[in-house]
A and B are shown apart, each in its own frame.
Chain A
Amino acid sequence: MMVMQDDDDSSRGSEALLTVRNLKKYFRTSKGLVRAVDGVTFSMSTGETLALVGESGSGKTTTAHVIMGFYTPTEGLVMYKGINIGIPIEKRPLSLKREIQIVFQDPATSLNPKKTVKDILETAVKVYGEGVKLERFKTILELMSYVGLSEEHLFKRPTEIGGGEKQLVALARALAVNPAFIILDEPTSALDVSAQSKVLRTLLKIQRDRGVSYLLITHDLGVVRNIASRVIIMYLGKICEEASTDEFFGRPTHPYTQMLLSSIPAMTEEDERILPTRIESRGEIPSAINPPSGCRFHTRCPYAMEVCRKEEPPAFNVGGSSHIVNCWLHSSNTRV
């Protein structure tokens, strides 16, 4: 198989929107050092939707928060459009802050409970400049209608509107500063199913109209299938598998990926055919304070071999344009 994956990310540095290289984020706690993110490397190009998938505790949200500047990396590099952004958000220039926005999981806490929808959007619009009051109203109403909120929500507080509508307000707020890149931190997991589809459709519309790139943090594989173009599976702070969405669902390769996919209940015959069923989910994700040696998944892996306990698996290219698996089972393939 031809190796198409480039060894050197800098060779395509100009087109990469975001490059994360060997990112580590450790937290010192009273119980010990938590290795939340432990050597993660990936890159994203403009206009794509990259899904970062994993159980809670896999480090996906920490990765997102480092990119946002909520935390600074312990080690490694985070580059956005060729600029090092491994600096706290307070130190970032306004022009950079505007480019990268985040939509949080629970809109009940990401919207100020004491403010009306109009006030929430107005403070965001004002970041661009004060302007005239009536002009601001115009911008706010345009944003609201764009995300599919009606004018009647204008003077409501977050507590008075539905979860889906709240998430749309959060989206409109992010759009108020006209970002190029939005991190979606579990954007639908706090919502009803009916609200989920509305939010997802709006997300797709925004991407189509504005060419916004998304980093989607989620554990919901249904959402991944709907909106992601590429998927990265994380486990205990490390990447297990990276593939295009089609490859990911069509040919899941890492035992952990197979376990995740087989735990989705099959609804249709097509699901039955696609979903691997051989691997039963067992155990819970171990603690990131004392992660297992070697491959971190070996404690739950049905195929664990001697080498898995001792040595950490490198990345192997298992085909496709960039289908990468960090697993000793695939050591016959080319190393990345």
Chain B
Amino acid sequence: MSSDYSAVARKEREVRLENLKRAWFRFSRNKLAVAGLVIFVTIVTMASLAEYITPYPSHAGLYINFKEKYQPPNPNHILGTDMYGRDVFTRVVFGFRYALMMVGVVLGIVVPVGTVLGLLAGYYKGTLIDHVINGASEVFVAVPPLVLALAICSVLEPNVLNALLAITLMWWPWYTRMIYSVTSSLRNEPYVWAAKALGMRTTTILFKELLPNMLGPILTKATLDASWVIIIGASISFVGLGAQPPTPDLGTMLSEYCRYLPAYWWMTLGPLLGIVALVLSFNLMGDGFRDVFAGE
């Protein structure tokens, strides 16, 4: 045995890198997933550099230039212009920001909260903790998600923040239920009993023993859910309960522009393509993650 333990630490880093490479290899075998990743990275890059890469950054919000209104797609405006003469492409790129922010905020809250609640309920199955958490989640699950979100948005002031709140509230039970079912079956695995026998703290058992066995399903579900968050968010905006004009939200734009169908079809086409590209990229990546974890 070596006496240089820092060499062991170095070896550990190498092994971690090696595992990442292997995971990437499995992901990359799924060409559609790679395509999804490329679309996603492109969209994220475009959204974060929107001010610099869009031809008319000022068109994102309130801007009026009636001279250029209703222009079909042309070299200056590749997705045409809208009824106020704003460049649709510019607005779609800014719209990605809202969509991505929505995904980030909703999943950023829902995944950790839902996971922790699911772990607790599953680990303490049959106790008060389980009944309280599952009782609460069943109430939320019983109401159709979109209806619940619309109810919240219509009671509160319609804006982006409340739309986020509504989606977050309706989403956490689904994570809790998934993690709950996995935890309640894994908690009787001998390695969990061994961990208890060793005297590990419950938090160690939950987060170091159980959680690593669920990362696959969590990441896959989160990715596939991201597309649903975008669709629900767009739906809320579409019926006028989410982001309000002139916010360049994809759903809001759809609801503003669809009134000009079919004559000015390009206005609707822009945000529609944006939503499709985002949703597609998440779904394709989700399938790729599923492959990565299935191969393990």
Contacts and interface: CB of A to CB of B under 8 A. Distances in A.
A177 B198 contact: yes
Interface in B178-210: 189-191, 193-200, 204, 208-209
Contact of A123 (B8, B195, B213): B195
A111 B191 contact: yes
Contacts of A145: 1
Interface of B: 1-2, 5-6, 8-9, 11-12, 15, 189-191, 193-200, 204, 208-209, 212-213, 215
Contacts of A94: 199
Nearest to A100: B197
B198 A97 contact: yes
Contacts of B212: 112, 114-115
A46 B132 CA distance: 46
Contact of B213 (A112, A133, A134): A112
A248 interface: no
A155 B199 contact: no
Contacts, number: 84
A102 interface: yes
A177 B199 CA distance: 9
Contacts of A114: 212-213, 215
Given A110-B193, A112-B213, 5 more contacts: A98-B199, A101-B198, A110-B194, A137-B5, A154-B11
A124 B15 contact: no
Question: Majority SS of interface residues in chain B?
Answer: helix
Contact of A134 (B5, B191, B194, B200): B5
B115 to A, nearest CB: 16
B198 A104 contact: no
A113 B198 contact: no
B121 to A, nearest CB: 17
Interface residues of A, number: 41
Name the residue among B5, B11, B12, B198 with the largest chain A CB count within 10 angstroms: B198
B195 to A, nearest CB: 7
B228 to A, nearest CB: 27
B197 A106 contact: no
B9 A102 contact: no
A138 interface: yes
B2 to A, nearest CB: 7
Nearest to A151: B1
Contacts of A90: 196
B5 A138 contact: yes
A242 B287 CA distance: 59
B9 A141 contact: no
B198 A106 contact: no
Contacts of A174: 198
A98 B200 CA distance: 10
A5 to B, nearest CB: 32
A97 B189 contact: no
Nearest to A119: B208
A34 B220 CA distance: 42
Contacts of A138: 5
A296 interface: no
Given A114-B212, A134-B9, A102 B197 contact: yes
A37 interface: no
B250 to A, nearest CB: 38
Nearest to A170: B194
